[in-house]
Structure 1
Amino acid sequence: MKVAIIFGSKSDKEIMKKASDLLNEFEIEHKGYILSAHRVPEKLSETIKELEEKGVECIIAGAGLAAHLPGVIASQTTIPVIGVPIKAALEGMDALLSIVQMPKSIPVAAVGINNSFNAAMLSIEILALKYPEINKKLLEYRKTMKENFIKENEEGVEF
């Protein structure tokens, strides 16, 4: 397994599924976990150790409200952590700010509110540095994306 997707509540599953879908498209082995930094901190710590032992190379962590989960994970491992702020109170701004305002030396990358797709894309870019086959798929994905954009918009826009 190369990527772990961790989120704090069953209600976050639909948001985080977009990350899984993209990783599936790239044929990247991953697994999801529902773990809370507040409700089951011991189980979270145990799982982080297991992920390190398994050689996981990137963790995507989704969290709303106080959004401590990505930071707590980052404080316990050197595996890169990508935080996904999940919209709850304050339209998700509270979660976004909690994730990006990590203390010096314990970074967490952050993507937009509810944007687990971009978290998966960032994890793919990280893995592409090490795995030529992932890099090749990423380059092809980008090429196709650009071609489709041009094709969809070459006729102009009607208002």
Structure 2
Amino acid sequence: MRSVLVLFGSESDEYIYTDILEYLKPNFKVNFKVLSVHRDSSKILELLKEDDFDFVLAGAGLGAALPGFCAAHTEKPVFGIPVPNCFGGLDAFLSIIQMPFEVPVGALSPKSISSLSSLLDEVDSKKSRVVNIVLSPDIENHEYANQEYSLLADYALTLGIEIKRSSSVDEELMNIILVHTDDSHKVSNNALYVPLLTKSEKNSPAFSIRLLNLIDYGGVWFGVNSPRNALKFLNKLL
């Protein structure tokens, strides 16, 4: 049974974490703590240094620094849950998903916690270091698609991962799907999701709200035009 360190930033998040813990406990060995990254950072570091868990699930609202702090201090995969305290959780979502290169956090909607166990089950069943990168026909000529794929191919070599490119999900492999916010979104359990935006779209605040709406469909998400972070995260699981 996998073990998970579950951290939430405030007791006021109880309305979110109660259902999440209820879901996790039958399937995982759970160590749960409520700790503020701003007030209890030393305690969080102590827990992370113990390294007696397979992954971290960290939830927070507002600036939501907790998941990123955890990702910066452990080599284990970190999933982040945005708690909707303000703006429907938009502020927390952006803080969790927009992580720097090589410090990935996989963002999950609190409404789709089952995506976590589904993803882990798929990783366990595949056991392959070949990853399929999905660019649908309507975005394969996207201004950043070829650039990001080229960067991803180079980075995959450093991780010892082989990547292939296709226009559809490969059911035999793990997949990283580049998603434009105009795409009709269907969740695959054997996939990670990366929004792919043009420069003008990246500079439009309206697109952040569209991305927030997309994660409610399910799946584990990474930052805008950041497939390398998705691959780094997947490498931690393989």
Taking structure 2 as the reference length, what is the TM-score of the superposition? 0.48
The 2-side partners of 1:33 and 1:123 are apart by: 20
Q: Aligned AA for 2:101?
A: K
Change over 3 Å in CA distance of 1:39–1:123 after alignment to 2 = farther
What's 1:125 paired with?
119
Within a 5 Å distance, the mapping from 1:93-104 to structure 2 comes to: 93-104=90-101
The 1-side partners of 2:97 and 2:7 are apart by: 17
What's 1:35 paired with?
35
Find out whether 1:92 has 2:93 as its counterpart. Answer: no
Find out whether 1:59 has 2:59 as its counterpart. Answer: no
The 2-side partners of 1:4 and 1:124 are apart by: 18
CA displacement 1:6-32 (0-9 Å, x = unmatched):
001111123012221112343x21121
What's 1:20 paired with?
21
Shift of 1:127: 5.6
The 1-side partners of 2:67 and 2:20 are apart by: 15
* Contact 1:22/1:121, CA 8 A, preserved across alignment: no
Within a 5 Å distance, the mapping from 1:73-92 to structure 2 comes to: 73-92=70-89
- Structure 1 runs of 4+ off > 6 angstroms? none
- CA RMSD, Structure 1 to Structure 2 (Å): 2.1
Classify the secondary structure of the residue corresponding to 2:63: coil
Q: Aligned AA for 1:48?
A: L
The 2-side partners of 1:18 and 1:57 are apart by: 21
* Contact 1:58/1:123, CA 8 A, preserved across alignment: no
Shift of 1:130: 4.1
Q: Aligned AA for 1:30?
A: V
What's 2:68 paired with?
71
The 2-side partners of 1:12 and 1:58 are apart by: 20
Q: Which runs of 5+ in 2 are unaligned?
A: 126-188, 190-238
The 1-side partners of 2:46 and 2:25 are apart by: 26
Q: Which runs of 5+ in 1 are unaligned?
A: 132-141, 143-159
User: Quick check: which one's strand share is greater?
Assistant: 2
Shift of 1:65: 0.2
Taking structure 1 as the reference length, what is the TM-score of the superposition? 0.71
User: Quick check: which one's helix share is greater?
Assistant: 1
Q: How many residues are paired up?
A: 125
What's 1:136 paired with?
none
CA displacement 1:46-73 (0-9 Å, x = unmatched):
11112x1x2x111110000000000000
